[in-house]
Structure 1
């Protein structure tokens, strides 16, 4: 049974999962939109069983974490990682990212490559040339985005749509994901984040090539938001030493759609980390 803890950070309540021994190497897992730390429900026990300490925050505004008291911009989420790590006295981390968690976490890694001990990257993009998917384009459009997130606050309809997209997902995971839509102030978090995206924040992406530690790239074969071709683009432009695994017959949310297919690759990744020591 995974339970969430809370801490006060910059006068905000931050909810997070923290499993494993406090003396074990830390694994920081950063979720995307519209997700929460429960994205990692199936991976966290497996990572802990390998002798690591998985830590997964609900990003501000998501799950049970308070939203920022100011605009929820990309820059603020990047800064949040540093603040969160300082609050938990984390010096170096193994980083695991998905969706917007990759754009946040990898952008943070551009500034702190020496703090990254290994990377697992899935269904995300921090390379020039990515075109926003249709829903993202709506969220980025003033007035249109507001109408779209308000419509998504219809829980019954949202849950029905998500169960079509991820038929095998656990109900408690979707319940946690939906929490961001329950209030207007947290719904606006999504709009603020998407609208804050700009090319200047992508420019340092080449700094990721400084990270020579183990990198595993996992992707859903049929991801409708970020096509699997970006897995290879990420490797070719940033991590030529990375291992790529495409999860067959899966979409965007591979960790909760097909955990039984993802977990072996996660275990292989951390075994490779241990074997290098």
Structure 2
């Protein structure tokens, strides 16, 4: 598998990002390996909060939440998905599949031997993380579902998602920073926009961001759809506490929080939240509030 690795100098002096990098190697499924980057902050002995980002972001998205969680005594593990951030980037779009991304992220959990996990998952972090919860529920203590879905292709994801998917395939220059900026209410500074662009020196590094929108199952026969149906069959049997926290201004994921509230047994009686003045990338708009929500959720469900 041909891969690219973003030069380290692209990550120097990023705005509000004082965290040390950590790396591990995972099987690339073609007799090679991929380097995955992750943040590991807070007390090493504490049960982990696993923060999974989506498309086209990286662990920089969690920079506001991490210090607050760590100060409260929680360990925070925030990986960069393969193809994003400091992680290696398969150069061919066809090397990015839903199944591979689930396997690569699952390898991180197993290598770090994470247990008692509080999962915070947003966007593709949910499409991947919720599959892993269903695959190894014994490792997960609670789930925070934020602006994400676990689609099976039976229900349309809506006009807003269709427009995003079309845009992602037709825009001549895929500018991650401007995309994140557009998906927030509070908006980013130019330095923050540059930080989201940092992993992608040019278009050759963007196979992952370009391909991910096409990997979302849109019909029942799409790759990943049956695996997601199987995951839902497991999830409907689990009493793991589930809390939804959706940005009120997110048009792409609007209403999907109700699916989790209705289908997850552990969601019953939880104080689900629609976060005001927060868009799709709600970690940017309401990072402190989300961290406090997670802290409270952990305390209440221990």
- Normalising by structure 2, we get a TM-score of 0.78
Distance in 2, matches of 1:91 and 1:40, equals 21
Contact 1:26 1:93 in 2 (8 A): yes
Contact 1:28 1:55 in 2 (8 A): yes
Superposed displacement of residue 30, structure 1: 0.6
Q: Which residue matches 1:46?
A: 68
Tell me whether 1:67 sits opposite 2:89 in the alignment.
yes
Distance in 1, matches of 2:136 and 2:25, equals 24
Partner SS state of residue 236, structure 1: helix
Q: Which residue matches 1:244?
A: 272
Superposed displacement of residue 160, structure 1: 8.7
Contact 2:91 2:205 in 1 (8 A): no
The structure in which a higher percent of residues are helix is 1
Distance in 1, matches of 2:84 and 2:188, equals 18
Tell me whether 1:126 sits opposite 2:150 in the alignment.
yes
Distance in 2, matches of 1:164 and 1:127, equals 21
Tell me whether 1:189 sits opposite 2:208 in the alignment.
yes
Q: Aligned in 2, Cα 1:207/1:160: closer, same or farther, shift over 3 Å?
A: closer
Aligned length in residues: 264
Superposed displacement of residue 55, structure 1: 0.3
Contact 2:115 2:140 in 1 (8 A): no
Q: Aligned in 2, Cα 1:164/1:200: closer, same or farther, shift over 3 Å?
A: closer
Q: Which residue matches 2:12?
A: none
Distance in 2, matches of 1:165 and 1:215, equals 24
Contact 1:206 1:237 in 2 (8 A): no
Superposed displacement of residue 168, structure 1: 4.2
Superposed displacement of residue 38, structure 1: 1.2
Q: Aligned in 2, Cα 1:246/1:120: closer, same or farther, shift over 3 Å?
A: same
Q: Which residue matches 1:101?
A: 125
Superposed displacement of residue 120, structure 1: 0.9
Superposed displacement of residue 181, structure 1: 4.4
Alignment deviations for residues 135-189 of structure 1 (CA, whole Å, 9 cap, x no partner): 443168xxxx1x42x3224x8xx53982684434355543332245433343121
Superposed displacement of residue 213, structure 1: 2.5
Superposed displacement of residue 16, structure 1: 1.2
Q: What does residue range 230-269 of structure 1 map to in structure 2 within 5 Å?
A: 230-239=256-265, 240-241=267-268, 242-269=270-297
Contact 2:52 2:78 in 1 (8 A): yes
Partner SS state of residue 256, structure 2: helix
Distance in 2, matches of 1:164 and 1:74, equals 23
Partner SS state of residue 258, structure 1: helix
Q: Which residue matches 2:6?
A: none
Q: Which residue matches 1:111?
A: 135
Stretches of structure 2 that go unaligned for 5 or more consecutive residues are 1-17, 28-32, 217-221
**Counterpart among 218, 221, 225 of residue 248 in structure 2:** 221
Distance in 2, matches of 1:99 and 1:161, equals 12
Tell me whether 1:167 sits opposite 2:186 in the alignment.
yes
Distance in 2, matches of 1:101 and 1:16, equals 14
Distance in 2, matches of 1:263 and 1:23, equals 19
Superposed displacement of residue 264, structure 1: 2.6
Distance in 2, matches of 1:230 and 1:164, equals 17
Q: Which residue matches 1:203?
A: 229
Superposed displacement of residue 252, structure 1: 0.9
Q: Aligned in 2, Cα 1:161/1:246: closer, same or farther, shift over 3 Å?
A: closer
